[in-house]
Structure 1
Amino acid sequence: MRAAFRIFSRRFARDQRGNVAVIFALCCVPLITFVGCAVDYSRATQVRSKLQAAADAASVGAIAKASPGFIAAGSMTSDGTIAVGVTDAQNIFNANRANLTGYTLNSVTPTVVKSGSTINSTVSFTATINTMFLGLIGKSALSMSGTSTSTANMPLYVDFYLLLDNSPSMGVAATPTDITNLQAKTGGCAFACHDTSMKAGTSNYDIAKANNITTRIDVVRQASANLMDTAQNAQTYTNQFRMAIYDFGAASASIGLRNLFSLSSSLTSAKTAAGNIDLMAVAGQNDAFTADKDTPFTTIFPAINSAIASPGAGTSSAPLKYLFFVSDGVADESNASCLKTMYNKNWGNIAPRCQSPINPTLCTTIKNRGIKIAVLYTTYQPPTDNWYNDWIAPFNAGTWGPSPNSEIAQNMQSCASPGFYFEVSPTQGISDAMNALFKKAVADARIAG
């Protein structure tokens, strides 16, 4: 019996088949705890990820272009909190977490603030999730938090001043066909001068109107009206762009800067005013008022400079300023310091009359104030008369029209701010060029701002 017991005891001591179960039992507790922790943390990570996505959607959506906050910022005259933006951010956050369960939201803090020309949106949150396995080691809940920040640039406010040359030279027929037609009706003259000394209906101006002959001023009038439609469609806020329209005067008797339309955000009214742009009337050849010197750049530019207030940073209370200058670029005025001496063998010395390319220093004074100048140089087909051949043609080398050798074109380009010079011939679109200048100005303002 004793021998049998000793044998059984030795076999039991040597038997290792139960060790796996014992070891497994001992290992189960930390293993289960580790797996449980991973499950709890995974759940917490998924919840936080979804809450963060909701915060991202809220911060971005609260300052989207069509959002209440973005729209409200446009009417704010000072920096500060945008209340409707805060409410909108809260609503967007709640909508994006509506189907999310298994957690407790402790707080959500949206802020939407206008600062200068930017809108900053921040959405922060804190939450907790109850654990299942971490409670075994005394961790009954996990805390989580997140923040999302977004920034949007507000459209900049811009004031546009249109300075339109309506001097008699802008009465030239607009296209080669128009020139031919007008010359046929007038006995050879391609200028539709608005001569009020003639019997009603007999001036070249009246003849052009009666025969549907388009002059350069007609094209400028339509282009200016079209520009208002472009501005209307481009603005984000109803008062983002303001327009003013000036010309050189209704008649030679009252020549000088004339305000056709005062600076206003009513682009519809500006379009109506643009429809009234017309050629300057003169009181006959060598009229008593100006003796045909009807393009006085040296008085027009200081006057428009005084009319334009100092530019700002592009806010609603301090808009940027752009001057749109549309002209054929040739001065005709009493000016003893003219760039070109008025002497010709066929005509003699007629100083102090100045008939020459625009002096770019007139534009420099305006540009030095931070005002951008966009220049639309309207070249025209040369009329076949001795005055043009003797006084204007010498300003240009070779064929009239877009040419690097044209002194008129060079001076007009020097007048413009860099990148804001357009030159169009009669067969090209003045309206398209003016719209292109406007779009370029808006894009430039956005980059500069």
Structure 2
Amino acid sequence: MKKLARRFSADRSGNFGIMTALLAVPVLGAAGMAVDFAHALSLRTQLYAAADAAAVGSVSEKSDAVTAAMAMKGDGSISLGKADAQKLFFAQMSGELSDIPVDLDIDVAKTTNKLNSTVTFSATVPTAFMQILGKNSIAISGTATAEYQTASFMDFYILLDNTPSMGVGATPEDVALLRNATKNGNKEGKDKDCAFACHIVSESGVEDKESYFYLARSIGATIRIDVVAKATEALMTTAKKSQVAPAQYQMAAYTFGKKSSDANLYTVSELTDDLTAVGEATKNITLMSIPSHNTPNNQTSYDNVLTSIEKKIPTGGSGMTKTDREKILFFVADGVGDSIKPTTCTKRLNGGKRCMEPIDTSYCQKLKNKNVKIAILYTTYLPLPENSFYRDWIAPFQSEIPQKMKECASPGLYFEVTPTEGISDAMNALFLKVIHRPRLTG
């Protein structure tokens, strides 16, 4: 017996089988754990996608939550957003997900001018292999967030330069067309070269059909003020489409005046939320009239017009409510002042009193000090090297013109239109830049 016992205890031939049997449970459990966890992670990823869609969709630009937030006077929770988020979340459930109970915690709330959506989910996923280890389920959870910056309530004061220099051809091709048509002057052989500006000649109310302005019309040349007028009308359509709340945007429109003998800020349209009416008013904007072709073009006083409009615009608000609106001066001009300014002109004087110079940005600063944003569309002042007046009086500071216009604008709100670009597209682009199209982040 002793010999048999020693032989049995020394025998190792069955150890592998015994060890395999002993390790089978933990090995299978570990493998099953990997499978079960991978399955749970896959479902969690799908639930995250559903939560992201719910969070973003509940505060999208055209959602009920955004509409409600724009109408709110203060901060608070938005029940419509919660209901939308829940619908959007469960709309993503399909296949295996539809059989898994999911708990949702949703919060959609406005804080100042931001709308935040938070979707938190939790669920229990049954296991398959891990049950042999006594683990019947795996808990999964996650949170998705989205933020929408509600668009501000804004008042736009559109200031359009309609002085004779805006009678320049809209493109180099138009400039060449006008120059060729006027190279011999008018019927008396005077006033050659309409390339510099095509004037409307009338101070009496009876327009002179001999004016180069009408000549431009007859030969099919487009001048800059025509393009600006059409672009301003089209801008109203963009503004209407961009609104996410009633009366979100109000517009007023002004020019530098109707005639040179009384060149003062002229109201084309008072401030109103009837954007269609503003469009109708602005499409008829035309050049300021002058008594004759020989009248010096000294009606572009940026100093005076900016001083006048500064008095029209109240101090800007936060834009968070209809009664606390942002104020924006939307300024379209070619950047060259031409006025009677004998003592403070920054460039040399013509005849001792006529001043041609870039815009004086100190007048822009007065508006900025009132929390008024200035958006500038600079309609590039085209070089006219064949014109002697241009060579003598404008060319010496040509390079300063865009620099000063950009300095006048509020940061990020400057746009230059080159001859190859469309003024209408540029005005729309600048407008959209001003209103800061709301963004979603999550």
Query: Shorter-chain-normalised TM-score: which range?
Result: 0.7 to 0.9
Residue 245 of structure 1 aligns with which residue? 253
1:48 to 1:170, Cα distance in 2 relative to 1, 3 A:
closer
Distance between the aligned counterparts of 1:181 and 1:103, measured in 2?
Answer: 80
Structure 2 counterpart of 1:188, from 190, 215, 222: 190
Q: Are the equivalent residues in 2 in contact too, given 1:158–1:319 (CA < 8 A)?
A: yes
Residue 394 of structure 2 aligns with which residue? 396
Q: Deviations over 1:184-215 (max 9, x none)?
A: 54543334233234866555277547735654
Report the secondary structure of 1:100's partner residue. helix
Distance between the aligned counterparts of 2:382 and 2:6, measured in 1?
Answer: 122
Q: Are the equivalent residues in 2 in contact too, given 1:330–1:358 (CA < 8 A)?
A: yes
Q: Which has the larger radius of gyration?
A: 1
Residue 305 of structure 2 aligns with which residue? 300
Distance between the aligned counterparts of 1:260 and 1:307, measured in 2?
Answer: 13
One-letter amino acid of the counterpart of residue 90, structure 1: Q
Residue 86 of structure 1 aligns with which residue? 82
1:203 to 1:330, Cα distance in 2 relative to 1, 3 A:
farther
One-letter amino acid of the counterpart of residue 288, structure 2: M
Report the secondary structure of 1:396's partner residue. helix
1:128 to 1:110, Cα distance in 2 relative to 1, 3 A:
same
Residue range with higher mean Cα deviation, 16-25 or 354-363: 16-25
Residue 219 of structure 1 aligns with which residue? 227
1:300 to 1:102, Cα distance in 2 relative to 1, 3 A:
closer
Q: Deviations over 1:244-264 (max 9, x none)?
A: 311122335654212212334
Asked whether 1:261 is paired with 2:262, we answer: no
Q: Are the equivalent residues in 2 in contact too, given 1:103–1:127 (CA < 8 A)?
A: no
Q: Are the equivalent residues in 2 in contact too, given 1:167–1:280 (CA < 8 A)?
A: yes
Q: CA deviation at 1:123?
A: 1.2
Paired residues for 1:29-108 under 5 Å: 41=37, 43-65=39-61, 67-70=63-66, 73-100=69-96, 105=101, 107-108=103-104
Structure 1 counterpart of 2:378, from 364, 376, 391: 376
Task: Determine what percentage of the aligned residue pairs are the same residue.
Answer: 30
Q: CA deviation at 1:277?
A: 0.5
Asked whether 1:280 is paired with 2:314, we answer: no
Distance between the aligned counterparts of 1:236 and 1:132, measured in 2?
Answer: 50
Q: Deviations over 1:373-431 (max 9, x none)?
A: 4142453676999xx84xx7543347xxx942xx666655554456626375xxx25x7
Q: Deviations over 1:130-180 (max 9, x none)?
A: 556666666554433222223344555654432122234444566232244
Distance between the aligned counterparts of 1:124 and 1:56, measured in 2?
Answer: 10
Distance between the aligned counterparts of 1:282 and 1:256, measured in 2?
Answer: 14
Q: Are the equivalent residues in 2 in contact too, given 1:396–1:408 (CA < 8 A)?
A: no
Distance between the aligned counterparts of 1:9 and 1:357, measured in 2?
Answer: 114
Q: Deviations over 1:226-281 (max 9, x none)?
A: 44455556667776654331112233565421221233454433322221212234
Distance between the aligned counterparts of 1:13 and 1:411, measured in 2?
Answer: 101
Q: CA deviation at 1:84?
A: 2.9
Structure 2 counterpart of 1:163, from 140, 154, 159: 159
Q: Deviations over 1:95-142 (max 9, x none)?
A: 222322597525211222333443322211222245566666665544
1:136 to 1:360, Cα distance in 2 relative to 1, 3 A:
closer
One-letter amino acid of the counterpart of residue 181, structure 1: A
Asked whether 1:122 is paired with 2:130, we answer: no
1:200 to 1:34, Cα distance in 2 relative to 1, 3 A:
closer
Report the secondary structure of 1:223's partner residue. helix
Paired residues for 1:355-374 under 5 Å: 357-370=358-371, 371-374=373-376
Structure 2 counterpart of 1:150, from 131, 146, 149: 146
1:321 to 1:127, Cα distance in 2 relative to 1, 3 A:
same
Residue 416 of structure 2 aligns with which residue? 422
Q: CA deviation at 1:29?
A: 5.3
Asked whether 1:435 is paired with 2:425, we answer: yes
Distance between the aligned counterparts of 1:37 and 1:152, measured in 2?
Answer: 41
Distance between the aligned counterparts of 2:68 and 2:365, measured in 1?
Answer: 38
* Ranges in structure 2 where 5+ consecutive residues have no aligned partner: none
Q: Are the equivalent residues in 2 in contact too, given 1:377–1:409 (CA < 8 A)?
A: no
**TM-score, normalised via structure 2 length:** 0.73
**Greater relative contact order (Cα 8 A, min sep 6): structure 1 or 2?**
2
Q: Deviations over 1:28-47 (max 9, x none)?
A: 55556556655655554444
Distance between the aligned counterparts of 1:358 and 1:111, measured in 2?
Answer: 51
Distance between the aligned counterparts of 2:47 and 2:438, measured in 1?
Answer: 37
**TM-score, normalised via structure 1 length:** 0.72
Q: Are the equivalent residues in 2 in contact too, given 1:47–1:103 (CA < 8 A)?
A: no
Distance between the aligned counterparts of 2:303 and 2:8, measured in 1?
Answer: 121
Q: Are the equivalent residues in 2 in contact too, given 1:74–1:237 (CA < 8 A)?
A: yes
Q: Are the equivalent residues in 2 in contact too, given 1:261–1:270 (CA < 8 A)?
A: yes
Q: Deviations over 1:341-364 (max 9, x none)?
A: 7564xxxx5x5x656554332223
Q: CA deviation at 1:321?
A: 2.2
Q: CA deviation at 1:439?
A: 1.8
One-letter amino acid of the counterpart of residue 86, structure 1: K
Distance between the aligned counterparts of 1:107 and 1:267, measured in 2?
Answer: 47
Structure 2 counterpart of 1:326, from 325, 333, 336: 333
Q: CA deviation at 1:296?
A: 3.7
* Ranges in structure 1 where 5+ consecutive residues have no aligned partner: none
One-letter amino acid of the counterpart of residue 323, structure 1: F
Residue 111 of structure 1 aligns with which residue? 107
